[in-house]
Structure 1
Amino acid sequence: MGESSPVLGVSSQLHYVQTRDGRRLRTMTSGRPADTLVVLEAGLGVSGLYWTLVQALLPAHVCAVAYERSGYGGSDVTADPRDLNSLASDLEDVIDKYPHRRLVLVGHSWGGPIVRTVAARRVAAGSVVSGVVLVDHTDENADYLLTESMRKTFSTLAAVTVLLARVGLMRPLSALAMRGLPREVRRATREATYSRASARTAAAEMVHVVDGLTELRRHPPVLEQVPVHVISAQRTGFLDRSHRADLMTAHRITADSFSMGRFVPAPESNHMVPICEPELIAEQIRLLV
């Protein structure tokens, strides 16, 4: 049984699902058990709690599940490498715990490569994937993300993230990114995201980003006959000011690469589309369910 969450609202519950190797991952479930399952994958370094605004806009007749990857919030820590393959396997474990006939996968930022990897695996195995929504996702068609310079940047960010968490500066620095969430949700998301354990987890994911994207460039996920909606933020933020145009171009290329791809601009959003324009994401999900 799940427990009601005053943070997520009376219609949402916290559950724990077990991975194939025995770890527990905390999920945030809204709606009710249904034929249609929507799973929301978070970006790098953040608890899935920030999907709350999107979940609140989804139809009650679908089961919508956000979750925390290992090491964030209420999910167990793991010493295993946090590479793309491992993250995808954890997402598959979450999906398998919720009975469904139709599946829509939604991935924000680094969650985009994770859901694409899983969707391609499931299609190859003969499972039905009703659609994929990529929300300002980390895109291998953005050349700057595959450079050795970016690899060094991620390594530096990993070390700095752990240091800032150790001295207690991560939470105040997160205020801008989480602005727009209801106060209680914002507080819960920050507590689940910016602990020392979560910082170590984020660092462990960062060091694998370039290799993961390089592999996707070499072997793009095959999603024939699967609708793929690519939402692209149109406003720059503090961290992507010099690369926003490159990323928007990459998103268009990715949308065009799928037989049922669709490019969806998010005119009022910076990178944090789930907070800036949750209604836009919910609309794309509704089109697929």
Structure 2
Amino acid sequence: MRQDSDVRTPEGRALRTHSRGTGGTLVIFEAGLGAGGASWGPVLDALPEGVHGLAYDRAGYGESTPAPGARDLGALVTDLLAVVDAVEHERLILVGHSWGGPIVRGATARLRDVGRPAAGVVLVDPGEELADLYFTRIARIMIDAQGAVMPLLSRLGLLGPLQRSAARSLSAPWRGVAAASVSTPAAAQAVRAESRHVTAGLLGLRLDPPAPLGTAVSVVSGRLSEGLGRRMRDELTDAHRARAEVEGGRFVAAEQSGHVIAATEPELIVGEIARLLEA
């Protein structure tokens, strides 16, 4: 059964969490830009017994308190670490999708640097500075457009129907929560605030490459081109394969999925988590 609760950041903001299961092993899921924690529902439902799975809504999404200041990569990493610190655990695995990938990598690096290493990381079709396509004009336009359009759709009353349509592939217990968490004016503004820093965050990682994470890493890459086109999808997959090599990790091709692998092949993600648990 899904359990919803709040954790608190050091400055007192609430971050709404959605969790399943109990146990000393904690798996925290970080969503992509414009997606709430409930987008991980199919994966949470399929986790093995004895695992505490937890996804959360970033600041401004759903019932999480909006945050002042820039919502850059460093700020998002800090919030993820607040969730890590708030939930008791013996072993930690972090899972990040899309823009959540760099957030998870940043949090894992900080934990490593203070002697609290994560047991493993799963990057699911992550945003990747090794992919040149993220620094093209069309990519910047698409990212900026996502941030700019959501507040407009919210004012026009169109955001809710659009998000409900986007969440239709999720199971009933998660569908409504996922759509509602990114349908509010506050969520639209949160997405806009985050989108302003995506390209800069990836560029910073590209110009100053971080050290390998030093833990077990799986990189799952969608193979269906969807709206990207075959060439761009292949370039992104090549970057994901390169990330796995940099981290000394494992590359996994999701042959039946495009970008949203949690909805189309949740069992693939669960399999990688299970593999890390057995290591």
- The answer to whether the superposition gives a TM-score over 0.5 is yes
- Cα-to-partner distance string for 1:11-43 (whole Å, 9 max, x where unaligned): x211100001110000011111x3211100011
- Matched-pair contact (CA < 8 Å) for 2:164–2:176: no
Amino acid corresponding to residue 22 of structure 1 in structure 2? G
Offset of residue 170 of structure 1: 2.2
Q: What CA distance in whole angstroms lies between the structure 1 residues aligned with 2:34 and 2:190?
A: 7
For residues 18 and 256 of structure 1, the distance between their equivalents in structure 2, rounded to whole angstroms, comes to 36
Alignment of structure 1 residues 188-227 onto 2, 5 Å: 188-227=177-216
**Match for residue 115 of structure 1?**
104
Return the offset for 1:262: 0.7
Please state how far the C-alpha of 1:148 moved relative to its aligned partner: 5.0
Q: Which amino acid aligns with 2:179?
A: R
Inter-partner Cα distance in structure 2 for 1:175 and 1:269 = 20
Task: Give me the TM-score of the superposition, normalised by structure 1.
Answer: 0.91
The equivalent of 1:130 in structure 2 is 119
Which stretch of structure 1 is more off in the superposition, 57-66 or 102-111? 57-66
Q: What is the CA–CA distance in structure 1 between the aligned matches of 2:115 and 2:137, rounded to whole Å?
A: 37
Matched, 1:26 2:16: yes
Q: How many correspondences in the alignment?
A: 276
Q: Check whether the contact 1:82–1:205 (CA below 8 A) recurs between aligned residues.
A: yes
Alpha carbons of structure 1 residues 170 and 253: separation in structure 2 relative to 1, 3 Å: same
1:257 paired residue number: 246
CA drift at 1:152: 4.1
Residue 100 of structure 1 pairs with residue 69 of structure 2:
no
- Structure 2 partner of 1:267: 255
Once the two structures are TM-superposed, the CA of residue 254 in structure 1 deviates from its matched residue by: 0.9
Letter in 2 for 1:279: E
Structure 1: runs of 5 or more not aligned = 1-9
Secondary structure, aligned partner of 1:280: helix
Q: In the alignment, which residue of structure 1 is the partner of 2:276?
A: 288
**Matched letter for residue 29 of structure 1:** S
Give the deviation of 1:174 after TM superposition. 3.4
Q: Does 1:160 align with 2:156?
A: no
Task: Supply the distance in 2 between the matched residues of 1:251 and 1:123 (Cα, whole angstroms).
Answer: 22
Q: Which amino acid aligns with 1:269?
A: S
Higher mean displacement: 169-178 or 94-103: 169-178
The CA deviation string for residues 18-73 of structure 1, in whole angstroms up to 9 with x for no partner, is 001110000011111x3211100011011101111101111221111100000000
Q: Are 1:14 and 2:19 an aligned pair?
A: no
In structure 2, C-alpha distance between the alignment counterparts of 1:226 and 1:159, rounded to whole Å: 37
Which whole-Å deviations, capped at 9, do the CAs of 1:153-183 have from their partners, x for residues lacking one? 4333322221112112223333553232113
**Over aligned residues, Cα RMSD in angstroms?**
1.6
**Alpha-carbon separation, structure 1, partners of 2:114 and 2:240:** 27
Equivalence for 2:60: 71
Aligned pairs (5 A) from 1:26-105: 26-32=16-22, 34-105=23-94
Q: Give the corresponding residue for 2:265.
A: 277
Indicate the residue corresponding to 1:6 in structure 2: none
Q: 1:184 offset after TM fit, Å?
A: 4.1
Percent identical across equivalent pairs?
42
Distance 1:194 1:221 in 2: 35
Q: In the alignment, what sits opposite 1:146?
A: 135
Judge which range, 47-56 or 179-188, deviates more: 179-188
